[in-house]
Structure 1
Amino acid sequence: MNVLHVMPYIPSPTSGALVRDYNIIKQLSKKGIKSHLICNICSNKYMNDINLLEDQLNIKIHPLKTPYFSALYKMKIVIFDRMYPEVHRFNTIDNRNFISSLLSNNDFNIIHAQHSVEAEPTIQAALNSNFNGCKILTLHNVDHLNFIRQTDHQKNPLMKMARKRVSLRFKEHELDMIQKFDHLFVVSDIDKSVFMANGIPEDKIDIIPNGVDCSSFNISKFHGEDKLIHPNILFMGKLSYQPNIIGIKNYLKYIHPLIKNKISNIKLYIIGKECPDWLIKYSRTDDSVEVIGFVEDVKPYIFGSDVCIAPLTSGSGTRLKILEYMAMSKPVVSTTIGAEGLEVENNKNILIADIWNEFADRIIEVLNDKELATTIGNNSRKLVEDKYDWNKIAEKQANIYRKLINKY
């Protein structure tokens, strides 16, 4: 079986959606599925990673430079086209022709696009090259819902107006693109329900959840040194991603002061790339907050954490970081949206709170009750072993691939 994947980045074992594609493709290769990747990149600095990744994943990578859009040009797209600018940025003649050329010159059974921004160039390229194999789209979020939720939190009136302008058309675009693919992969039952409510047939959708490498994220196998101060709280996430920005702002404003009042020596550690200046400045004014920034390996920090948090009020899809916390047997306190799409059970394998003072109370409770922390952590480890290990997830995807090849 030969699969051509189209994605707006190069997969990586260290960050977000890139981790998902890295692990699934790695496992697919082990199962005998041959993968080629078209990776749209914004900078040549990523070129050095390609040879190493090809060896690690046993694949062939075809990089393509993505054009830069200035803020002014993005605003023109919003005003005149009422469209999310990234859709236009990836739907270029170069991208379409590049995909078409690979389809025409290779014998692929499946073309598999990742994210809504790669949907239109993939479909157009398949038409241009008369590709008669199966066309699959994976949506890591309900992108239009994610967009709407972020709009609700936008404080800048001009940005709020611009986002509202785009929201309806972006939703129409996303649903139209799904209709043009043969099959859709989503990450959770909630996402599946949203698309079904918008007219996508149930038999066209399969759930391929996010996961974690349970053999690597395993506290019983970790022998590193704990370098963190205790008691502590850990937050991880890309710090330029709007839902994470909103989440950490809310935590610092509404939750952390309540915890400091009860536990004076508490320490909050923040891990993530692209940290904004305001957060670095904030940490310099509050000794209880430390911004670690980007790290190659998050496992030592999860290992040293006492409780991990996901105070998110926007976003969509499912949070890989929660699965990583759970795989390391750590208690997690999250909002409902933070844990959305995961088959978790409040007070059994996670602690859920949506009111800020209750969120603070749950953190304080688990910090003061070691037995509760251990029970929640052990139950969460069992959950990810049963349902969210990458090997099991890739096996499910491979089986669906085989069925779809026979169908199309």
Structure 2
Amino acid sequence: MFKILQIANKAPYPANDGSSIAIYNMAKGFIENKVDLHLISINTKKHFKPDGDVPKKFAEESHYTTVYRNTNTSTFGAILNLFTSNSYFVSRFYFNAFEKKLIELLKSNSFDIIQIEGLFMGVYIDTIKKHSTAKIVLRAHNIEHNIWKRHIAHEKMSVKKLYLGIQNTRLKKFEMKVISKVDAIVPITRTDEAEFKNMGFVKPIYTCITGVDVQSYLTKGDLVEKAKTIFYFGSMDWLPNQEAANWFLDNCWDKVHKAVPEAKLIIAGRGMPLEFFHITRPNVLIIENVEDGKAFFQQHQIMIVPLWSGSGLRIKIIEGMAYGKAIVSTSIGAEGINYTNKKNILIADNATDFSNAVIKLLENQMVRKEIEKNATEFAKSEFDNFKVTSKLVEFYNQLLNA
């Protein structure tokens, strides 16, 4: 058995969005694979989760620790940052209280692997190196500067676009610095693995998709699926998700509604921007707080992922496949998943194809049922969390013995 310290910029329980699912499920996988795990995270104001809500067994087995911090952006902070050389995307996550707690952990434990969850916690690498000889691994949920590069490309010319351009240049510089300091990278997709290699990374690298407890998704409740429903479900305080929902509304919904007038579109997710509640398009329902994600998936029929920016993996697609949903996604939305188009998912990269794919699933039950069945089988074979994590543990053993 070896000892791993997992460091995250967000409290992972409850696992109610993509990154917290990725962190929490890997922690569970480590524990199931007999790793001696310690997990420390920032508990942010934006995504605050009471420590008391964490299941006692998981808290004990993961040595669960959080440190509170308000990491929210502000106009003053954004302007002040311009007079530094740091990226405002990153600098918000460095603060003394977390560093102090981290040093305490490093001094009282001898870790073999320190796994940094996402780029932003790379601000603590120098601190780690001062107090530990452990191998430092970046688990790259995304290539962060690529997310913003794609997002900025969709922005109209403005002061905001210029500011974001400055910040993304700094972010890329920081990302390059981090990958030069770590001992290995664990990206979530093959696409990101190739990009890291293009960025000059020559040390060990192992792509590890996010696993899920597939069996728990396959267990059906007693809720009835609502016919002719289409849903988009994601963290709506994330700009790529806002862009995706607006794109579908502006470019596809009128055509879909005209072809299937009884169809309903549900856009759901926490942090819903105010303007979405003012949408007056027919048969569109906005839900901000989904109390039971499993019930939500079970009740709605066709899942859409019309993403045009972003990097890494959409956990919601993994969940959707595990729930046996028929999904229509862009190629960017489905990056990192070894799907077969038209078998276990439908891929569409323009408004006409996307609309037609959704209409096909609404009108042809036989096609929809076949994709649902194939998605379920694919999830069983590809996403089992214990198996996914056990392969990563094997990689870490090789890294330690190299």
Task: Give the TM bin, normalised by the shorter chain.
Answer: over 0.9
Q: 1:16 to 1:96 in 2, by over 3 A?
A: same
Shift of 1:39: 1.1
The answer (yes or no) to whether the contact 1:100–1:128 under 8 Å persists in 2 is no
Q: 381-390 vs 46-55, which deviates more?
A: 46-55
Aligned to 2:115: 112
CA distance in 1 between partners of 2:80 and 2:388 (Å): 38
The answer (yes or no) to whether the contact 1:78–1:162 under 8 Å persists in 2 is no
CA distance in 2 between partners of 1:264 and 1:207 (Å): 43
Shift of 1:331: 1.0
What 5-or-longer segments of structure 1 have no aligned partner? none
Q: 1:78 to 1:347 in 2, by over 3 A?
A: farther
Matches within 5 A, 1:3-402: 3-12=4-13, 13-43=15-45, 46=48, 48-50=50-52, 52-56=54-58, 58-68=61-71, 71-76=74-79, 78-81=81-84, 83-121=86-124, 123-129=125-131, 131-155=132-156, 157-201=158-202, 203-218=203-218, 221-226=219-224, 228=226, 230-282=227-279, 285-402=280-397
CA distance in 2 between partners of 1:226 and 1:89 (Å): 44
Letter in 2 for 1:29: I
Residue-by-residue CA offset, 1:6-58 (whole Å, 9 max, x unaligned): 11111132221101111111121122112112111223994633462452352
Q: 1:77 to 1:337 in 2, by over 3 A?
A: farther
CA distance in 2 between partners of 1:320 and 1:372 (Å): 24
Shift of 1:313: 0.5
Residue-by-residue CA offset, 1:74-132 (whole Å, 9 max, x unaligned): 323552335431311122333333212210111222211111110121x1112221x11
The alignment's TM-score, normalised by the length of structure 1, stands at 0.92
Q: 336-345 vs 394-403, which deviates more?
A: 394-403
CA distance in 2 between partners of 1:60 and 1:36 (Å): 5
Letter in 1 for 2:88: P
Matched-pair identity in %: 25
CA distance in 1 between partners of 2:119 and 2:107 (Å): 23
CA distance in 2 between partners of 1:319 and 1:261 (Å): 29
Letter in 2 for 1:210: T
The answer (yes or no) to whether the contact 2:211–2:385 under 8 Å persists in 1 is yes
CA distance in 2 between partners of 1:45 and 1:382 (Å): 33
The answer (yes or no) to whether the contact 2:266–2:286 under 8 Å persists in 1 is yes
Shift of 1:73: 3.6
CA distance in 2 between partners of 1:377 and 1:82 (Å): 49
Residue-by-residue CA offset, 1:123-152 (whole Å, 9 max, x unaligned): 1112221x1121111110011101111111
CA distance in 1 between partners of 2:244 and 2:158 (Å): 20
Aligned positions, number: 399
CA distance in 2 between partners of 1:372 and 1:6 (Å): 43
Shift of 1:156: 6.2
Residue-by-residue CA offset, 1:209-239 (whole Å, 9 max, x unaligned): 1233211111xx30321263x2110111001
The answer (yes or no) to whether the contact 1:77–1:84 under 8 Å persists in 2 is no
The answer (yes or no) to whether the contact 1:214–1:389 under 8 Å persists in 2 is yes
Q: 74-83 vs 265-274, which deviates more?
A: 74-83
CA distance in 1 between partners of 2:331 and 2:47 (Å): 38
Shift of 1:404: 2.2
Letter in 1 for 2:189: S
Letter in 2 for 1:117: F
Q: 1:97 to 1:48 in 2, by over 3 A?
A: closer
Q: 247-256 vs 301-310, which deviates more?
A: 301-310
Residue-by-residue CA offset, 1:380-400 (whole Å, 9 max, x unaligned): 222221112212111112222
SS for the counterpart of 2:367 is: helix
SS for the counterpart of 1:332 is: strand
The answer (yes or no) to whether the contact 2:33–2:386 under 8 Å persists in 1 is no
CA distance in 1 between partners of 2:167 and 2:85 (Å): 5
The answer (yes or no) to whether the contact 2:213–2:384 under 8 Å persists in 1 is yes
The alignment's TM-score, normalised by the length of structure 2, stands at 0.94
CA distance in 2 between partners of 1:83 and 1:197 (Å): 24
Shift of 1:162: 0.7
Q: 1:286 to 1:72 in 2, by over 3 A?
A: closer
CA distance in 1 between partners of 2:83 and 2:379 (Å): 45
Shift of 1:356: 0.5
- Quote the RMSD (CA, aligned, Å): 1.9
CA distance in 1 between partners of 2:312 and 2:49 (Å): 29
CA distance in 1 between partners of 2:260 and 2:394 (Å): 50
Letter in 2 for 1:61: Y
SS for the counterpart of 2:51 is: helix
CA distance in 2 between partners of 1:266 and 1:82 (Å): 51
CA distance in 1 between partners of 2:12 and 2:85 (Å): 30
Residue-by-residue CA offset, 1:171-225 (whole Å, 9 max, x unaligned): 1210210111111110010000011011011x5211111233211111xx30321
CA distance in 1 between partners of 2:106 and 2:317 (Å): 37
